Amino acid sequence: MTEPRTSSPSVHRSSRIESLDVLRGLALFGIVVVNAWFFSFPIMDAAGQVDIDASGMDSAAIFVVTAFFQFKFISIFSVLFGFGIAMQRSRLIERTGRAAGFLARRMMILAMFGLLHALGLWFGDILFQYAIVGMLMILLIQIPSGIRLALGIVCLAVSMLAALGFGLLAMIPSAVVEDPDLTLQGFAAMQAANFDPASPIWINAEIAAVRDGPFADAFMFRAVTWIFATLLFFFAYGWHVLGLVLVGSWFHDVGLLDPDRRWLLRRLAIWGVAIGLPAEMLIAFARLSGDLEIGLRSAMDAVHDLTSAVLALGIIGVVGLACASRRMPLANGLASVGRMSLSAYLLESVLFVGFVSFWGLGQFNEHGPAALFLASIIVYSLVATACIVWQRRFKLGPLEWIWRWGSYLRRP
């Protein structure tokens, strides 16, 4: 095991921050590509897109998203979140001797942003859950680095078991509703569907609420689905996030992005890509090849939970090396997005929800995976352009400015 080291926050600060910003910017691209399905389809249809009878460009898009995007970039963001918490704490301890109050304020503000995002715009918010993990990290960050790494690995193992268990739940037969009333809307439809998002009653009403309104029905589906998603986070993939946040804090302590630790980045790049990429491609191909037996699919979900994290670490290694050698394509644009990651993340939601919702273009459930892949590229391009233009005049993004003010209790 690599021994932890104490890195002065003033040493190599600019290159380290540049690498983190580029990685954050890249992660936000991957996240919007995956989220496009969840913006644009009923929740259960979005979760099962790899199983549809697709052909041509849609089939290719499903393979690309599943193999190269799904769960990889949220994994990268989790590692960066843990790295950032550890970096902020070390700098604050060096300057002031304390950090818990600052970190607690920072996470409470993040949680408020998350609640506003989830209830006001889109159920798939991740900020609130990250804030809860961040609060937990205020305690865990005080544990010795090696133990944190071990805890992270244990959390990833628990996440694999959760993925397996939730997959096996599909063996429980769903209640079949004879002659479902597809005219029901809003809360009445939820009740008739027994609050089952897979029910045709629920799906039909969800499509109508998001695409046609009214606001009350859209809010009801958004709020209830957010509650389901939050519970799923704490019982399932939240372990994946917490595990990688812990791993990210360990990466900070061992100086992953220091110039004399490029051998560690090189190992991540080689082994992460060599193991994770072929595994993820095989899993994506198997999912597209036809209906899978529930037990086999559940086992693949568990393996996917791990190999997606392995590939994410490989991407971190590749990008870290490219940034260190000044050979990272589009580095400046990605870094601009990364420096405004909170504002950029929420702007992605505003643009995509505007594209699909009744108050915008009303395109919910109207387009296939290939069109949504293209839409995600367009949305990210608009967001990146906005970030670049904004930073020509301002140092901080608008929401980063508010976040910093609340965290430091003084005007930036």
State the pLDDT at residue 181.
74
Asked if residue 7 is part of any domain, the answer here is: no
DSSP E strands in 240-340: the ranges are: none
State the pLDDT at residue 186.
87
Find the domain containing 95 and state its range. 13-408
User: Could you tell me which of 44, 351, 373, 362 has the C-alpha nearest to residue 218?
Assistant: 362
State the pLDDT at residue 174.
65
User: pTM of the prediction?
Assistant: 0.92
From residue 207, alpha-carbon distances to 54, 210, 362 in Å are 21, 6, 10
- Please tell me the chain's helix, strand, coil percentages from 3-state DSSP, rounded to the nearest 5: 75, 0, 25
312 alpha carbon, distance to own chain's centre: 12
User: Could you tell me which of 77, 47, 74, 70 has the C-alpha nearest to residue 284?
Assistant: 70
State the pLDDT at residue 409.
87
Rounded CA gap, 35 and 20, in Å? Answer: 22
Cβ-based neighbour number of residue 120 at 10 Å: 12
Below-50 pLDDT ranges, the chain:
1-3, 6-16
User: Could you tell me which of 1, 31, 11, 69 has the C-alpha nearest to residue 277?
Assistant: 69
For CA atoms 187, 193, 196, 200, give the dihedral sign: negative
Tokens, residue 146: 């090696």
Q: Are 76 and 315 in contact (CB under 8 A)?
A: yes
State the pLDDT at residue 18.
86
State the pLDDT at residue 1.
43
116-146 pLDDT, tens digit per residue, is 999 999 999 999 999 999 999 999 999 999 9
Asked if residue 5 is part of any domain, the answer here is: no
Asked if residue 160 is part of any domain, the answer here is: yes
Asked if residue 318 is part of any domain, the answer here is: yes
Asked if residue 1 is part of any domain, the answer here is: no
State the pLDDT at residue 400.
95
State the pLDDT at residue 17.
67
Sort 191 into a burial class: Cβ within 10 Å, 0-12 / 13-18 / 19+.
exposed
User: Could you tell me which of 177, 179, 195 has the C-alpha nearest to residue 187?
Assistant: 195
Asked if residue 3 is part of any domain, the answer here is: no
Asked if residue 8 is part of any domain, the answer here is: no
Q: Are 333 and 17 in contact (CB under 8 A)?
A: no
State the pLDDT at residue 49.
55
Rounded CA gap, 124 and 41, in Å? Answer: 12
User: Could you tell me which of 78, 80, 46, 93 has the C-alpha nearest to residue 65?
Assistant: 46
157 Cβ contact partners less than 8 Å away, ≥ 6 residues apart: none
State the pLDDT at residue 204.
92
What's the total number of domains in the chain? 1
